[in-house]
Structure 1
Amino acid sequence: MFEHTERIDGDGADKFNVKVTLGITGDWRAQPLKVISGITEGIKSLDGTLREAVHLARKDGSSWEEIGKALGVSRQSAWERFSVD
């Protein structure tokens, strides 16, 4: 099982957690293509939320440099992926 939690500290209503959990049960090594498919579907289900967060960050004045850093990619890559939204 993979689990990652980001705790965002703020005051009052600004505090929140972002938690992503991946659980695979059974002998997944016997069917790796099904695992790839399941992970891909999970990523797709999060894409809308990610796009909305990027849109809100831009609306709040965040630069493509800052967004790229948060995504772990370059400013240019962030812009190419999200600027058309």
Structure 2
Amino acid sequence: MAIEVIATKRVLEGTGASRRLRRAGQTPAVVYGAGKEAVSITLDHNTMYYALKTEAFHNEVLDLVIDGQKEQVKVAAFQNHPFKQLVLHIDFARV
């Protein structure tokens, strides 16, 4: 069973841009590894919040679709807010 995650590239980076994304219901993330350059992306927050609660999301190879291009990735790390139900950032590693 392949889990598919939909993402879009982001052009604005930095603390202020990430705050604006989070207020708009998005989660900033990055994809790196496999000898390719790192790509900054955005994901839907609610989708990621509930997906991170499942064990399969952490253990399986995911199909990450970035603006129509599919890559295989695994969740490398993620950050949650200390007391709010908020995913702050996710790192994906290419397989």
With the length of structure 2 as denominator, give the TM-score of the two structures. 0.27
* Structure 1 or 2: more strand by fraction: 2
Which of structures 1 and 2 has the larger relative contact order (alpha carbons within 8 angstroms, sep 6+)? 2
Larger-gyration structure (1/2): 1
* Structure 1 or 2: more helix by fraction: 1
With the length of structure 1 as denominator, give the TM-score of the two structures. 0.28
